[in-house]
Chain A
Amino acid sequence: MDVQKKRALSRKFTDQIIYAKPEVSVVVPVLDERGNLPLFLERLDRTFENACINYEVIFIDDHSSDGTFEYLEHYQPSFPMGLYRKKGKKGKSYSLLEGITHADTGIIAMIDADLQYPPETIPEMIKKLESADIVVANRKTRTEEKSVRSFLSRVFRNVFGRLLLGTPIDVQSGLKVFRRRVVESVPLSPSKWGFDYEFLYKASHMKWRITEVPIHFAARESGKSKVNALGTGFELLFGGIALRCEYFLLAFFKFLDYPHHSERFENDFENTKDFLFLSDIMSAKKHFYFETVSLIVILLAVFIGISLFLSKAFHVPLLVVWVGISAFFYFFILLFKLLVVWKAVRSDNVLDFSREEIAALRDEDLPLYTVLIPLYQESEVVDQIVRAMTSIDYPPEKLEMIITLEEYDTETIHALENAELPGHMKMLILPDVKPKTKPKALNVALLHTRGVFLSIYDAEIIPDPDQLKKAVLAFQKKPHLGVLQTRLDHYNSDDGVITRLFNSEFSFHYDYFLPGLHKMGIPLPLSGHSTHFRVDMLREIGGWDPYNVTEDCDLGIRLHRRGFQTGLLNSVSREEATSTFRAWANQRSRWMKGFIQTSIVHLRHPLRFKDEIGGWGAFLGFLFVVPGTVLINILNLFFWIIFLVWLIFQPLFVQELFPKVVLYISVFTFLTGNFVFTYLNLLSSYQRGRYSLVKYNLLSIFYWVMLAYATTRGAVQFITNPYYWDKTKHGVRSEAPQTAPVKMRAAENQPSQNNPVNLRDQI
């Protein structure tokens, strides 16, 4: 159907013309172009009619005084036109940027209304977009106007374009056609006339493909040029020099430069090579980009510089300075954690729903819910999975359960085949591609999901039966939430000392730490299972990173970066705690390795990251929570060894490492920190009703020594075997409970709004 037919069809139904959905937006900045407009509009409309392309033209009037706006306003009903008076600063660049924000199509053309650039070239340029991302009209020939302007234009193109910016392209050409995603990906802050060169230079830097179409640059028919040859020339020259200097510096300080060229395209869901939907720079696929290396070099240089300065200033050896810095770091971490706990105690941010509210949900109103269950060599827990999943209180016809399996994991496949799965549980055999990780399995499954919401349950998980309904209620009540984090618990916490301490750590983490972080607006490191997502949001952020061994933590941070909010849901999932030191250390080493990966990924562009997660507060919070946890655990090992050496041998060098101020801060932090966090563990267990565990928390200090070991191991593994997924063995405990054996306060009382679980009310 051609354009005329489409328009005619529209006219049938209404007095006002309704145009078909445009395919191209033509952005035209205008200032006192009244004389050129009739012909411009006619030529533009004819061009698109002839090319059978639906278009919209967007005029941004920079406060013309010759009646330009009124003329356009008069003719607006006759054309598919958007007409806007300029809101921002005066200048062509700002008109263009403002016009682009009004454009509603994937292809944007920009052209001046003075008819020096032929609008008839636009369809040809659009066609060229098949092999390029930006098409520039190259002013090959021109009808000479004033000799000065012509001369300056040539000089500018050669000196400015070729020498300064290093590109043969006609950088100041006023006619360009490009894809919308290109302009959205390029961070622009142009001067009055600087849009063109800045856009092209930055776009080429991001490896967007640029091509040219030769045109004849005509003389003006009417009106005056707005370009002040000398003033504009200087503005462009200095702007160009500044841009070049900026990029020269960015070549060395790469971590300040963003976005990365791999971010040109949003989420490639067709990537079946490794199912990495994200851009490379947002993934742990490759750890050390130049960004990271340059950042590390700069930070190291600054750190060593400061250390040397302090060493000279205080006349102490370098090692003493480092011990001092570590002491202050410990001190600040302690203050931060206390603040988090304080916020948690004073917060009431855990979402909760009463039995009545859950009962009021009608089955027919419930959305389709997808549950992903990634399995690998877990045949022994198949019965438990089926039992736990079938006890979920959600109508089966609204439930889609996808069990992902590796093709060669025949034992688990057979076990599932023999288990007589209910109709809504499906097996998904994963393609045999690397990496063989849980997040890759989840990404594959994401492509097959039909649900509105999605949750993940690991093999041994026993969620509260009403968890999905609670999640639905939470998503309905809080539409701004993208993800919900539930509370985790262990059903085998009484198996041994390790499980007891592990459980207390979980109690503290989920009852104090996460609510505190949430209250402070710091990104939450999510758990690997029992988190609930909006599927469209997951797709928008590109799913999981298959290369990150703590994809959960990474996802939490990425969600926060993209502006999605996380909610805390008062619902409990019970899992099996690793009960042997070996299994515990393997799991913990993987977690800490993942924390290192996540830190590296997100700190590649630290300032950008700071802006995206909500400023310095959240940024520092992230530093303390993710890389800080790793660092503090490794330092712990070092200081525990020093402490033991001092305790046993009392050598003089240990005393010399701690001059008075450092000693004071260290002793204060050591005593207060160990006491406060041991006590918080005691409290956490007590509040969960795990009375028998309380006394075991007095051994927390030994657990932290174990943590120090596991973290150090994880750090070493990060270097030696970064992507190795040390699978946690489940089903060690012979039989999981049918229902939750623990007397968790939340579960026990079937929380309602009259009986909330927030700490403020519990203590």
Chain B
Amino acid sequence: MNMHTNTNRENTERGGFLDFFARYRYECALVLISVTSASLMAWYVSTKHLTTALADEVAHMIFARILIDSMTPGVSQLGTWPPLLHVVMAPFSLSDFLFRTGLMGAAALIPFFAMGSVFLYRLLLELSGRKILSFLGTLLYVFNPFVLYYASVPMTEILFMSMLFGTAYFFTLWMKYERLRYILLTALFVTLTCLSRYEGLLLIPVLVFMLWVQMYRKKKTYSESEALTVLYGVLAAVGMVLIVLNSWAFAGSPLAFAGIGNGEVWNLSINSDLTQHSVLSSVNFFLHASFYMLGKFFVPLSLFCAILAIALVKKKTIVAAAFVALLVPFAAVVSSLYRGSAAIYTPEFLSYVGFHNTRYGLTWIGFAVAAVTLMAVGVREYLAVHVRQKWVSVLVIPVFAIFVFTITGVHFYRTAFASNFSVIRDDLSATSRDQKNPVAVYLKEHYTGGKILATRFNHDYTLLDSDIPLKNYIYEGNFIYFDEVLGRPWLYTPWVIMTNPTSPDRVRAKDPVSDKWEGSVYFKNFYTMVYKTPETVLYQLKIPAVEKYIQENHLNEAYVPSLHPNMQTWDPKTIEQKMGLVNNK
């Protein structure tokens, strides 16, 4: 009897499980394909030492790790970059293997990549009503080499695009069905998009505009439109408010995240004047970046398809709204280029630099894929109505699909295999990772404890490769600790890392340690230079000099952190008092 009951239950459960797969077979297939292809790409990229090739990749990893592994862990370590990536990577950063290899990015991002693929599929399905075409269209996204690359490294692009697809999907649902939950989910995804990349901020006003257009079309009252705008706006703005509050609290200015305040240094460093105040140049730079990211044929094809799709599809308003949402990153990046707060380089413009920020050109891939898919649907529907020969409308889709997938395949091969991701390797901020950072290697071999003073912004690679817990570093994100130590480093840290004075000004300008002590004779009384590379100089403490200093200043040697490496954490005020430093001031 029991056996019979159990068997029934098992059958029911299995039935439910199979039912789920049967019902969501395309979604399940996409998840499977996304996870598998991104995992393979993660493996491939790591064998090519490209997982941590970009400076930003390492910076993101460090940001995620110091949320937990820091002298002052917690929210204060989020920095002024959009924090979502760091938060989702933080749990994975606890694994030393994932952290040192950079695979924490893949571990955290592949699920989001799969989620984004499903959102894109569902969006295309809502717009086209064709499952197979939507599935194929999504595969164009999934098999883009850069999409796979950014799904397997610690960068924000995939997170941003996944959230953007979620936004577009739920907004489309709201446009179609006008249920409150969809606008609330749209707002939630806008917030998540903003927390992924700042380009998402533009979504807030754009969707407000489209919301009003839709309410006007549906002849809703002013008060209802206003109420819905408030509901949408308040939730959608949460991400922005969090960013502003975070900037205010930890960077001293509510607009620090936008680079306002230190914008001059930044602008100097990026040669943004190439696109500044020129719409055409901005669009031109963006399109060139897109050629590398999406493929030279795919970009014009998708632009052409977009126009045709709008002309052919039935639900024009809804399709147009989805296009607008998916085009937001394009507008945001072009706007940044125009304002001069961002820069894109490709060899066509600055051949001596190579590439820089070309990845910005990837973020509108959702629009490109949607345009191609919807054009195919539109053409098929048009032919089915207007052409008598049935085979024409039946054949046109496979032929078109083969054409598009061939383009994608060629792009994939050329990018990932023929050129070995030259766009990444030749990036301005890329570093060859064939060898570990030599300063880190030296430090690792000679380190016997105690704190290390460094400006994290300039020395992420050293922090990553040294295998020393990050809580043993004192960096600018430790705020009062950093400020205190910077005044008299010899009392606190046996090691100091500085930017090499031969580095360009724009690099040295970002290193307060170098700025304060580089070239100082007084500093050199206490420290010996032990290792030097063209970028970095490593100093080690002269213990007798510090002991002499302690004697001269009648300090309590027992409480001097630099002489007692086991003192892991201290409170600056207390330690000053205990050392007797307060009385000496």
Please give the residue numbers on chain A whose beta carbons come within 8 Å of chain B beta carbons, in ascending order.
660, 664, 675, 678-679, 682-683, 685-687, 691-692, 694-695, 698, 762-763
Contact = CB atoms under 8 A, between A and B. Distances in A.
Interface string B201-241: 00000000000000000000101101110110011001000
Given A660-B74, A664-B74, A691 B180 contact: no
Contacts of B231: 679, 682-683, 686, 694
Contacts of B184: 763
A682 B184 CA distance: 12
Contacts of B179: 763
A698 B181 contact: no
Contacts of A682: 227, 230-231, 234
Interface string B171-196: 00000000111001000000000000
A687 B221 contact: no
Interface in B63-80: 74-75
A695 B226 contact: yes
20 contacts: A660-B74, A664-B74, A675-B238, A678-B234, A679-B231, A679-B234, A682-B227, A687-B180, A691-B224, A691-B227, A692-B223, A694-B230, A695-B226, A698-B230, A698-B234, A762-B180, A763-B179, A763-B180, A763-B181, A763-B184
A664 to B, nearest CB: 7
Nearest to B235: A679
Contacts of B238: 675
Contacts of B74: 660, 664
Nearest to A345: B181
A424 B184 CA distance: 50
A691 B234 contact: no
Looking at A660, A664, A692, the one whose CB has the most chain B CB atoms below 10 A away is A692
A479 to B, nearest CB: 33
A664 B74 CA distance: 9
Closest 9 CB pairs of A and B: A694-B227, A691-B227, A691-B223, A691-B224, A763-B181, A692-B223, A695-B230, A694-B230, A763-B180
Interface string B499-543: 000000000000000000000000000000000000000000000
A660 B224 CA distance: 43
Nearest to B181: A763
B230 A664 contact: no
Contacts of A691: 221, 223-224, 226-227
A757 B578 CA distance: 67
Interface of B: 74-75, 179-181, 184, 221, 223-224, 226-228, 230-231, 234-235, 238
Contacts of A660: 74
A680 to B, nearest CB: 11
B93 to A, nearest CB: 19
A511 to B, nearest CB: 13
Contacts of A664: 74-75
A698 B233 CA distance: 12
Contact of A695 (B221, B227, B235): B227
Contacts of B235: 679
A763 B226 CA distance: 18
A660 B221 CA distance: 48
B212 to A, nearest CB: 14
A265 B223 CA distance: 59
A245 to B, nearest CB: 48
Contacts of A683: 180, 231
A675 B74 CA distance: 22
B78 to A, nearest CB: 13
A303 B255 CA distance: 45
Given A691-B227, A694-B231, A695-B230, 8 more contacts: A675-B238, A678-B234, A679-B234, A686-B180, A691-B224, A691-B226, A694-B227, A763-B184
A763 B231 CA distance: 13
B161 to A, nearest CB: 27
B60 to A, nearest CB: 23
Nearest to B220: A691
Nearest to A668: B75
Contacts of B230: 682, 694-695, 698
Contacts of A694: 226-227, 230-231
A679 B234 CA distance: 8
B375 to A, nearest CB: 35
A694 B75 CA distance: 32
Contacts of B181: 763
A646 to B, nearest CB: 14
B42 to A, nearest CB: 34
Nearest to B249: A667
Looking at A679, A691, A763, the one whose CB has the most chain B CB atoms below 10 A away is A691
Contacts of B224: 691
Nearest to B73: A660
A678 B234 CA distance: 10
A686 B228 contact: yes
Looking at B75, B224, B226, B227, the one whose CB has the most chain A CB atoms below 10 A away is B227
A542 B231 CA distance: 46
A275 to B, nearest CB: 47
Contacts of A762: 180
A144 to B, nearest CB: 63
Contacts of A686: 180, 227-228, 231
A692 B223 CA distance: 5
A682 to B, nearest CB: 6
A678 to B, nearest CB: 8
A695 B233 CA distance: 11
A621 to B, nearest CB: 27
Contacts of B227: 682, 685-686, 691-692, 694-695
A682 B183 CA distance: 14
B186 to A, nearest CB: 13
Contacts of B228: 686
Contacts of A685: 227
A763 B188 CA distance: 15
A686 B180 CA distance: 10
A745 to B, nearest CB: 11
A687 B234 CA distance: 16
Contacts of A679: 231, 234-235
B578 to A, nearest CB: 16
A683 B74 CA distance: 32
Contacts of A678: 234
Nearest to A660: B74
Looking at B223, B224, B230, the one whose CB has the most chain A CB atoms below 10 A away is B230
Contacts of A763: 179-181, 184
A685 B223 CA distance: 12
A695 B227 CA distance: 7
B479 to A, nearest CB: 13
Contacts of A695: 226-227, 230
A687 B227 CA distance: 10
Contacts of A687: 180
Nearest to B224: A691
A481 B557 CA distance: 77
A751 B184 CA distance: 24
A648 B230 CA distance: 30
Nearest to A696: B230
A686 B234 CA distance: 14
B296 to A, nearest CB: 46
Contacts of B226: 691, 694-695
B362 to A, nearest CB: 33
Looking at B75, B228, B234, the one whose CB has the most chain A CB atoms below 10 A away is B234
A41 to B, nearest CB: 48
Nearest to A687: B180
A683 to B, nearest CB: 7
Contacts of B221: 691
A633 B227 CA distance: 28
B242 to A, nearest CB: 9
B484 to A, nearest CB: 18
Nearest to B187: A679
A687 B228 CA distance: 11
A87 to B, nearest CB: 28
A84 B74 CA distance: 70
